[in-house]
Amino acid sequence: MSLNINILICLFLCGEVPGIQSFEQVPWLPCQLVDESVTFNDEGHAETEYQHRDAGLQFGHPGDSALNPNKITFLVTGSKVDMRKYIEGVMAHQLRCEIRRYNTEGLQMRWPGLGAQEHDIWFTCTIRHTDGVFIITSFLRHTPATPTPGQAHYRNWAAIADRAALTTSTVMLVLTRSPSVRVGLVKQQSLHCQFDVDHKAADLTVEWRLQRHGERTTLFSHSSHSGQTKGSGVPLNAIGRGNASLTLPLTKQSSEGTYVCLVSVPPLFGSHDITLHIMEPPRVSLNVDSTIFLVDRGEQKVVCEAEGYYPLDVEMEWFREPSGGGGGLLPEKLDTVLYSSHRHHQDGTYSLSAFFLLHAFLHNSGSKYFCRVSHSSQRMPIRKSFTLIVTEYDSWNTALWLFFGFGAILVMVAILFVMLPRLSSARKANQRKPY
């Protein structure tokens, strides 16, 4: 509720109509400050308590008054790194902002950028698109008015007042436009990772890792300090432009997992997780034509086949829709359907069959039967159908067929009885002829 109120306040202050304001036009963006309070128990172990507090990003210049003085304000002043230019055209209501303190793990050093001090303290600001389009994490540097040695360490963090205004500058950011990726098998996929630093970093490290089934594998690493590069998939000239995107080889089942892009410029260490899902849609087919003709009380086995899908989860169902649409009634789900076992193929995909024995009755003529296949790779189920046409069982035609058929058999037998003696006599005559 409070976040929605903050958004309305922001839109009011900016004089914009809700729904048409883009992020680069926003001088104030509502955020949640996830503050940390660290205490130590009787055994000397640190215990962290998290507190969610109303705050906001305000973009401006040093000395600007807070646009929303009732909230904690992080005043983001001019820098070579501007998070807004990386997410242009996005509406403010599509963003979720979270600010946290950043622990340098005891590494106390002066940031090489302009205006940095020895005892600066750090915050991270993570902005997520509500539809999962991107995640961007910016590092905010704040110089306290009265620096105290060691206050950058989490044990010595100073309290932030409810209406405090902290002047900061963005010194580094890490961005991904592919937080979650769905891709098929035997496809080439690029995982987006981008970064920006406010100075030419002499000690930059870029690394990619794959986490799968509890195991972690380093796919690529590059250090500008040592000049060493291991692995492949990221062009070095692209890193010089702030592009650390990883190009994967042709995907296979083992490509699935969580890929981590890590960018480090001491004392800052940024990363983003990118989840890659292998999704292969099923190919669905029936063993019958679009129309089946059967006589009354006839039978036929009907099979629905789903092939080549991944992952394993698939749902197959058969339905019957009466002739003429059933008068608005819902299709009837068949309860006589049998299923094969899942068949696992060499490429990692699966197949499954759903079948039933179709009994034809005159009152079912014109009914439509359809197989519905649902799979996580498809937004909508796949449907394959056929129409049943039932003809009346004609007893007279059957009787005539049996009569004439039986008569033909009798004629054949009579001919054989007449011909066999003649053939036998001719054979004996041939045997008595002298050579």
Average pLDDT value over all residues in the chain: 86
Instruction: From 182, 378, 185, select the one nearest 281 (Cα to Cα).
Output: 378
**% of the chain surpassing 70 pLDDT:** 81
Q: Over 90: is that where the pLDDT of 407 sits?
A: no
**DSSP label of 163:** T
The pLDDT tens digits of the residues spanning 157-197 come to 788 999 999 999 999 999 999 999 999 999 999 999 999 99
pTM above 0.85, yes or no: no
Instruction: From 239, 236, 232, 127, select the one nearest 194 (Cα to Cα).
Output: 239
Residue 8's pLDDT is 44
Residue 159's pLDDT is 85
Over residues 118-147, the mean pLDDT reads 92
DSSP secondary structure, 253-312, as one string: GGG-EEEEEEEEETTEEEEEEEEEEE-BPPEEEESS-SEEEEETT-EEEEEEEEEEEBSS
Residue 267's pLDDT is 92
Q: Which of 1-10, 100-109, 132-141, 214-223 has the lowest mean pLDDT?
A: 1-10
Q: Strand ranges (DSSP E) for 78-152? A: 95-102, 121-129, 135-142
Residue 11's pLDDT is 42
Over residues 294-309, the mean pLDDT reads 96
Residue 376's pLDDT is 94
The pLDDT tens digits of the residues spanning 315-370 come to 999 999 988 765 667 899 999 999 999 999 988 899 999 999 999 999 889 999 99
**Regarding predicted confidence, which is higher, 204 or 145?**
204
Over residues 61-88, the mean pLDDT reads 91
Residue 145, token pair as written in the block: 């008015």
Terminal-to-terminal C-alpha distance of the chain: 120
Q: Over 80: is that where the pLDDT of 279 sits?
A: yes
Residue 410's pLDDT is 67
Distance CA 183, CA 111 (A): 40
Distance CA 194, CA 174 (A): 6
What's the pLDDT band for 17 if we cut at 50, 70, 90? very low
Residue 311's pLDDT is 94
Radius of gyration of the chain (CA): 37
Residue 2's pLDDT is 47
State how far the alpha carbon of 258 is from the alpha carbons of 144, 230, 255, 336, 349, in Å. 38, 20, 9, 41, 20
The residue type found at 301 is K
Q: Over 90: is that where the pLDDT of 245 sits?
A: yes
What's the pLDDT band for 13 if we cut at 50, 70, 90? very low
Over residues 247-252, the mean pLDDT reads 94
The pLDDT tens digits of the residues spanning 311-322 come to 999 999 999 998
